[in-house]
Amino acid sequence: MRTTSSREAYRNPWIRVREDVIEHDDGSTGLYGVVERPDFALVIPAADDGFWLVEQFRYPIGRRSWEFPQGTWTHGTDGSAEELARAELAEETGLRAAELRRLGHLDLAPGLSTQEFDVWLATGLTAGPTAREASEADMRSRFVRETELRAMVADGRFTDGPSLAAFSLLLLDRG
């Protein structure tokens, strides 16, 4: 497969969408819409046989969503992957981690987006102030025991794809 042309269809400070015309190996052509977004960090804050979750309204799906803390740098800000993980954890929950360990690197939606993310396990947590962005003003944070998280997954209250993938990495890491 090769790209024969590409054009920018849309851009704002958070997202770029391009349209690529491609040619398959058999000579047929196709069209791809590709969403370009910066990579992000997802943090699993673990303590006392459970985890800290955040809940916020997600406009594209029209409802609130329980998730592990996650996000990317604000437009014009930069740093290492670990610095991003620490910043997102503190911003969304107020927690600081004594230890942060990378569990893996995943693709968000490789059929339509370039965005990828690192999954981090945060332990040795201490409380501090949050620093939420205006778009996160309605965010809530709550501690749940692992048994409750598993129940939330089973009954459809915890449906965020990246958070579920991250939880899978944690379970694999445990052996």
Q: What is the pTM of this model?
A: 0.93
d(CA 112, CA 24): 17
Average pLDDT value for residue range 44-62? 96
Say which CATH architecture domain 40-174 belongs to: Alpha-Beta Complex (3.90)
What's the chain's average pLDDT? Answer: 95
How confident is the model over 70-99, as pLDDT tens digits? Answer: 999 987 888 999 999 999 999 999 999 999
What residue ranges do the domains of the chain occupy? Answer: 2-36, 40-174
As a whole number, mean pLDDT of residues 161-170 equals 98
Does 134 have pLDDT greater than 90?
Answer: no
